[in-house]
A and B are shown apart, each in its own frame.
Chain A
Amino acid sequence: MPASSGLALFPPGVIPAIVWGVARLVPWAVVAAVLAGVTANVLRLRAEVSFAGPSVAAQALEIGAGAALIVAGGAAGRGPGRWLLPAAGVGWLITEWASPAAPDAAAFTAGLVAVLVALPLVLASRWRHSPVTRALSGLLALAVLLALAGAVVSGPLASAAASPRDGGCTDCARDLIGIAHDIRLNTLLARLGEQFVVVAGLLAVAWLAGSMVRARRHRSLTPSYDLAADVAAATFAAASACGAAVLLRSGPADTLAYDSRAAADCALLVLSAVLAGFALRTARARRMVARAAVAVADDPAGGAADALAAALGDPGLHVAYPARDGTWHDHRGQPVVLPERNVTMVTDEGEIVAAVVHGRLARIDYASLTGAISAARLLLDTERLEAGALARVNDLRAARQQVAEAADAARAGLERDLHDGAQQRLVALRYALGLAGIRAARRSESALSARLTDADRAAEQALADLRELAHGISAAALDVEGLADAVRSAAERAPGPVTIVELPAERLPERVERAAYRLIADSLREMARAPASGLSIAVRRAGDDLIVELTCDRAPGGEWPAYLGDRVAAVGGQLQRTADHGHQRLIAVLPCE
C-alpha cells in the first residue's frame, strides 16, 4: 500500500473502479433510456390518467427514479438477486403504459400486469443483505409474500377478469390477456391487490423499525449502506401502502395519490444512490484486496486475514482454515476456536475451505465481503494448504516432544528403581559387612577380618559404579533444584576440567531445562569417552530463547556426536556446530515459550 494514499484526491483503486463501473453500466443505461423515452412520451400524451399526475416535475421524478433503479441496481447487483432491482425499475416505469397513450397492445398489457410489481421486487432485493434483515426476515418474508400476492391479484388476474375497454376506456389499447368481461370481478381483484399492498407496506415499515432497534443494539453507529438501503426500501413500502390506501378510498386522480407516488419516487432515487455508492465501495474493496494480495505475496509475514481486514475496514477480522479432524487452524497452523457468531464460511463446490471471523462490532457487508473473498481466493487457498502442512508439522513436533517426555519419565523411573532397589540392597550389604568386620576384629580373627574388608571394598566399588550409572540415567536434583544446580553437580563429576561461564538463576519450563541438561550431561559424558582438554559451559536467556553454548579445544571424539541434536530438536530448538581458532563450539537455541 503506498503510504501517500491519504494525500490523493481519491483513495487508491477508486478511479479504475469508476472506469470499470461505468463500462458495466452501458447496457443498463441503454435499457433505462429506451424505457424512459417511451414512458415520457406516454406521460406527455395522457398525463391526466397517469400515476405521476399532471405535474411535469413529478413525471420527471418518476422517470428518473425508474431509470436510476435500473442502472444502479444493474451495476450493484451480485448473485441470484441481481435482477430484482432492475426489474423493479422496469416495472415502475411500465406501470404508466397502462394508458390510452401506450404505443401498442403489448405495451398496454404489460403496463396492466406490472401495476404493483415494483414493491415485492424491491422488498425481495433486501432479503439477505444484512444480519439485521436476516434476523427479522420472518416479517419481511410475510411483507414480500403479501406484496407479491397483491401484484399477482391486482395486475394479471384483474386484467384477465375484465379489460379497461369493458370499464369504458374506449381509446385504450386491446388487453391481450383479457379473457372475461366481468367488471365487478375486476374491481374486486384490483381492490384486493391494493389491500394486500397496504398490509405489506405496513409490515415492511414494522420491519424497518425493528431493524433500526437491532442496529442500535449492535452499536453499529456508522450509517451503513445496508441500513440506508433498508430505510429507503421501507420508505418506498410506506409510500406504496399510502398510495394504495388512497386508491382504495378515492380513486387514482387524487393529489394525495400523486404525492404518495412522488414520495415512492424519492425513496427509489435514494435507494439507487445508496446502491451506486455501494457498488463503488465494493469495486474499491475488490481493488484493495487485489493489491493486498500482491503485497502479501511479497511479504509472507502478512496473511489473507490482514488483507481482508484492511480491505473491509474490520481490524478484528481473522481467517481460520478447517483441518480434516474438524478442528480449525490459523495460517500458521496454530489451532484456533471458531466463535459461534459473526463467522462467514467460504465454500468451494459445497466444501468449506475457510472461515472468515468478523470483528465483534463489525457490521457484515456481504456484497463487499463476497467481492473481497473472491479477490483473495488464491491467497486463501495457498494459506489453507500451508496451514494444513504447518498444523501437521506442529502435530509432529508435539509428538516428538511427547516421545522425549516419555523417555525422560522412563529414565526417571529407572533411576528410582535403581535407587530403591539395587543401591539400597548394596548399602544394606555394606552395613552388614561393616558389622561383621567389627565382630571379627573383636574376636581377633584377622584372616576373616581381611576377607570382610575385601568384600566391603568390592561392594563399595559396585555401589560407586551403580551410582554413576544411575546419575547418568537421570538427575534427580534437576526438577527440585533447577538447571543451574544440576549442571554444576554434573560438572563436578566430569572426568575433565570444566569451566562454567554463566548459568541462568531463574527456573525455566521443565522441558527446556531437561533438554538443556541432557545436552550438557551428554557432552560431559562424551568427554570421558574421548577426553577433551576442557569444556566451557555458558547458558543464558536471550529474549524468549535459552542459549546453551559449549566450547572446547577439541570436540569429544573429534566432532560433536549427531544424537545431541535430537533432544534439542524435540523441543523445537536448533543446534549449530561451529569451529574457529581451534575451538569446537556447539550452540543450541531452545525456545522457552
Chain B
Amino acid sequence: MRVAIVDDQVLLREGLARLLAEAGMRVVASEGDVDSFLGAVDASHPDVAIIDIRLPPTFTDEGLRAADLLRTRHPGTAALVLSQYLDAGYALRLLESFPSGVGYLLKDRVSQVAVLIDAVERVVAGECVVDPSIVSRLVSRTGPAGPLGVLTPRERDVLGLMAEGRTNSAIGQRLYLSEKTVEGNVRRIFDKLGLTDTPEDDRRVLAVLAFLRA
C-alpha cells in the first residue's frame, strides 16, 4: 500500500509515517502544504492520501480543499482526512464532494494501528469511514421524542454503523446478524425516516448523516 501524507507539523508526519511503516505500508510522500503535496501525488501516484484538515496558510479548512483537488486530479486515490476536532458540517462537506473512498477521523484515533489499517483498507476499497464519535454525538443529540424515536434499538444500532460508513456485511459481522437481516433493517430505517435515497446507493452515508444533522 502506497501512502502520501500532508501535515504541517513535522512531529506528527514522522510519527504517522512510522506507524504506517510498522503496519506494512509505504510512505511515498510526506509534505507540509497543499501545493507540494499535490506535486508529490502527481509524481508518486499513491493509493491513499492522509490529509490534515488544518493546513497553511489560513489553518481552517485547507485540508478539505486539498481533498477536493485530489478528487479532481486523481480520482483513483482515496483520501483519509484527519482533524483535531470533528465537525459534522465538515464531514458532510467532504462526503458531498468526495462520496466514496474517503474517510474523516479524529487525528489521534489512528494511533491504534488496527484502526489505522482498517480505515486505510476501507477507503482504498471505496468505502466511507466516518469517525464513530461524530455519529454517536449526532444520535445522542436527539432525545426519545426526536425523529429517531420511531426506530427500534436494533435499527438504531444499524443506523449508527451505517452512518460510520460500514457495509451491510460489516454491520452484520458487528451485530452478529446475517447480511439479509441487515438489508431488511436498512430498508425499514429508510422507510421510517422517509429518506429518499435508495439504501444501496453509495451516497447513503451522506444521506444518513445529513438526516441526523438536520
A positions within 8 Å CB-CB of B = 416, 419-420, 423-428, 430-435, 437-439, 456, 459-460, 463, 467, 470-471, 476-477, 479-481, 485, 488-489, 491-494, 497-498, 534
Contact = CB atoms under 8 A, between A and B. Distances in A.
Interface string B120-145: 00000000000000100110011100
Interface stretch (B36-44, B53-61, B162-170, B179-187): B53-61
A471 B85 CA distance: 8
B112 A492 contact: no
B75 interface: no
A431 B111 contact: yes
The 8 nearest A-B residue pairs measured at CB: A431-B15, A434-B111, A430-B111, A497-B143, A485-B89, A492-B137, A480-B60, A430-B108
Nearest to B61: A480
Contacts of B11: 424-425, 428
Nearest to A497: B143
29 contacts: A416-B59, A419-B54, A424-B12, A426-B108, A427-B12, A428-B15, A430-B108, A430-B111, A431-B12, A433-B111, A434-B113, A435-B18, A435-B19, A437-B113, A438-B22, A439-B22, A456-B111, A463-B108, A467-B84, A467-B85, A470-B85, A476-B54, A477-B87, A480-B61, A488-B88, A489-B89, A492-B137, A492-B213, A497-B142
Scoring B84, B88, B146 by chain A CB atoms within 10 A of each residue's CB, the highest score goes to: B84
Contacts of A459: 108
B90 interface: yes
Contact of B141 (A476, A481, A497): A497
A494 to B, nearest CB: 7
B17 to A, nearest CB: 9
B108 A492 contact: no
Nearest to A476: B60
Contacts of A424: 9, 11-12, 84
Contacts of A467: 84-85
Nearest to A485: B89
Contacts of A456: 111-112
Contacts of A463: 108
Contact of A431 (B19, B89, B142): B19
Contacts of A432: 15
B87 A420 contact: no
Interface residues of B, number: 31
Given A427-B108, A471-B85, A476-B85, 16 more contacts: A416-B59, A427-B84, A431-B19, A432-B15, A433-B111, A437-B113, A460-B108, A480-B60, A481-B61, A488-B89, A489-B89, A492-B88, A492-B141, A497-B141, A498-B141, A534-B143
Nearest to A432: B15
A149 to B, nearest CB: 80
Contact of A488 (B15, B18, B54, B213): B213
Contacts of B85: 467, 470-471, 476-477
A95 to B, nearest CB: 89
B71 interface: no
A480 B59 CA distance: 10
A498 B145 CA distance: 12
B16 interface: yes
B165 to A, nearest CB: 18
Nearest to A416: B59
A493 B141 CA distance: 8
Scoring B9, B11, B12, B87 by chain A CB atoms within 10 A of each residue's CB, the highest score goes to: B87
B91 to A, nearest CB: 10
Interface of B: 9, 11-12, 15-16, 18-19, 22, 54, 59-61, 84-85, 87-90, 107-108, 111-113, 134, 137-138, 141-143, 146, 213
B117 to A, nearest CB: 11
Contact of B90 (A431, A438, A470, A477): A477
A419 B18 contact: no
A424 to B, nearest CB: 5
Contacts of B137: 492-493
Contacts of A423: 84
B130 to A, nearest CB: 13
Contacts of A481: 61, 87, 89-90
Nearest to B15: A431
Contacts of B19: 431, 434-435
A491 B88 CA distance: 11
A435 B84 contact: no
A494 B137 CA distance: 9
Contacts of B90: 477, 481
A479 B59 CA distance: 12
Contacts of B60: 476-477, 479-480
Contacts of A425: 11
A467 B109 CA distance: 13
Nearest to A433: B111
Contacts of A460: 108
Contacts of B59: 416
A417 B42 CA distance: 33
Contacts of A485: 87, 89
A420 B204 CA distance: 35
A490 B19 CA distance: 32
A387 to B, nearest CB: 42
Scoring A430, A438, A492, A534 by chain B CB atoms within 10 A of each residue's CB, the highest score goes to: A492
B171 to A, nearest CB: 23
A161 B12 CA distance: 114
A317 to B, nearest CB: 49
A274 B137 CA distance: 86
Scoring A426, A459, A460, A476 by chain B CB atoms within 10 A of each residue's CB, the highest score goes to: A476
Given A424-B9, A424-B11, A492-B141, A435 B22 contact: yes
A129 B89 CA distance: 71
A162 to B, nearest CB: 100
B23 to A, nearest CB: 8
Contacts of B9: 420, 424, 428
A541 B201 CA distance: 37
A575 B54 CA distance: 36
A256 B146 CA distance: 108
A527 to B, nearest CB: 13
A495 B90 CA distance: 21
Contacts of A480: 60-61
Contacts of B88: 488-489, 492
Contacts of A492: 88, 134, 137-138, 141, 213
B205 to A, nearest CB: 17
A442 to B, nearest CB: 9
